Amino acid sequence: MSGLCILPGHAEAPVLASEEGLSFWGGIDPATGVVIDAHHPLHGTSFAGRIVMMPTTRGSCTGSGVLLELIQNAHAPAALIFREDENVLTLGALVAKALFGLTLPVIRLPAADFAALAAAPTAKITPEAITAPDLTIPLAPLSGDLELSDADLAMRDGDDPALRMAMQIIETMAHLQGAPRLIDVSQVHIDGCIYASPANLRFAQKVADMGAQVRVPTTMNAISVDHGNWREQGVPPDFGRPAQALADAYVTMGARPSFTCAPYLLDTTPKTGEVIAWSESNAVIYANSVLSARTEKHPDFFDLCIALTGRAPLAGPYLDENRAATLVIDVTPSEGADDALWPMLGYLAGLHAPDRIPLLTGLEHLSATDDDLKALCAAFGTTSAAPMLHVAGHTPEAHQIAANATRTSVTADDLARVWAQFNAGPAQVDLVAFGSPHFSLSETRRLAELLDGHRCHPDTATIVTLGRDTLAAVEADGTLAKLHTAGVQVVPDICWCSISEPVFPPSARTLMTNSGKYAHYAPGLSDRAVRFGSLADCAHTARTGTAPEALPSWLAD
């Protein structure tokens, strides 16, 4: 048996293969199944009705919700075939089957069989085999030895329908991940509260209607509207109401309405070695890498299953042996580099390590703030599926290097290419977007210092998104008043990866950001041209309306 049938089903369709992974959230239109990631080789191609093959996925945990929507609106792939471990889309398919009775086959193949099938024009899938012209690949069912405690069994086999559903999904995912048992978690961060599609609301309301309640402290990601102000902001009710209802469904189930994509900025920041269960890719990578807490990169919907039970599979980065770097990336940074270095490095590190944990060396002599590392982790999560990375001299587990680790390098020329990729738009900027991930207190204060009381350009909107806790802090210390005086709009609850018109200015054609994450996703999400630069560059653009066109001096030199 050479293939693993994770979710059995039937399909017969054309084969569409890619050697580059894709985040379904921000990369696929959930209404049509067309690839909208402007940086992906399959940009503009429809996945609908095709047997889609890729090594694994990358990017956002919200991809599971996008897949659930595609399955429900009949624009999903006919089947999904992976070569490496994959959790996000797999979970979306599991939820479609468990809660809605809809089946999409999910299969994992070893490298040789994957390559052979990728060359085929069409294929037929059954639970027992994949057949294509001159090719037959037998499939084995998913199985494994999983030790469940008496409490686990009581939840799985008990009378509570929400606990039964949650434990059944957890058990399947544990088998998929090869976990020997489940472990307790101290807290959960929910990512599925973003209204990426109606499927997210259908799922949350269905589970809430079961009477579900979380068992461990649970925070919530940024949502898709400013919860208390969306009506005044002109958000259409046909979007604002379901987006608010989605957030309220999780609050009804006991989650804290923190509404931030940066839970590491809250008063519940996990400690070294703490076992948690977070979704939201940037938060997972930051927790593992910078805080040295322990969490798998849990997909949407699975986060709620863990919150309801307090249990997660013992696999992935929960285990010491899965936290070591298997790729060393030697970096040659330019002297005098500013904060734009860190998101570009994260982006490049993910391209070099799309499915494994890297160690970045050569940066030991540079200072790096928590905000720099936040930007690094967020950009890394857009191009890699790995749950963490190490930076020599800056992250606590950077000494963990696998014996078989390979080596590569990043040069100033590589950074210059990323800068050029992120700066394809015209110099005239209509919108400066700060807060992807959510701005911290220190970032907000720094922006106020850079603006120094000057008004933003009248034709350039300047918007900061942040969490409620940070908003309260900047209001208390007077920073919020300074930003308002400068003409900066400060919006809580939402972030740039979930923002929509009219909060996103409809007239803006070109935006600028200091976020590598948003520089990657914005062309597909907003259909706007993009500029990228340091925090100081963005503040200058906010005042003048024009972005620098030349390479930064530290990179040009």
Half-sphere exposure of 265 (CA within 13 A, CB side): 29
Q: Find out whether 132 and 123 touch, Cβ atoms under 8 Å.
A: yes
- 91 vs 188: CA distance, rounded Å: 17
Runs of H (alpha helix) within 38-87: 63-72
Distance of alpha carbon 297 from alpha carbon 283, whole angstroms: 9
> Is residue 60 flagged as an active site residue?
yes
Counting Cβ atoms within 10 Å, is residue 85 exposed (0-12), middle (13-18) or buried (19+)?
middle
User: Burial, 452: exposed, middle or buried (Cβ in 10 Å; 0-12, 13-18, 19+)?
Assistant: exposed
Report how far residue 379's alpha carbon sits from residue 287's, in angstroms, rounded to the nearest whole number: 15
Q: How far apart (Å, rounded) are the C-alpha atoms in residues 418 and 298?
A: 28
For 384-422, where are the alpha helices, taking DSSP H only? 412-422
**What is the rounded CA–CA span in Å between residue 50 and residue 78?**
5
Among residues 60, 197, 279, 289, the one annotated as catalytic is: 60
Which residues are CB-contacts of 484 (< 8 A; sequence separation ≥ 6)? 490
Q: What share of the chain is helix, strand, coil (3-state, %, to 5)?
A: 35, 20, 45
Residue type, 175: H
What is the Rg, in whole angstroms, of the alpha carbon atoms belonging to the chain? 23
Tell me the three-class secondary structure of 450-477, residue by residue. HHCCCCCCCCCEEEEEECHHHHHHHHHC
Helix (H, G, I), strand (E, B) or coil at 132: strand
- Phi/psi at 376 (5° precision): -60, -50
Torsion sign, CA atoms 234, 239, 243, 245? positive
Give catalytic residues, as residue numbers: 60
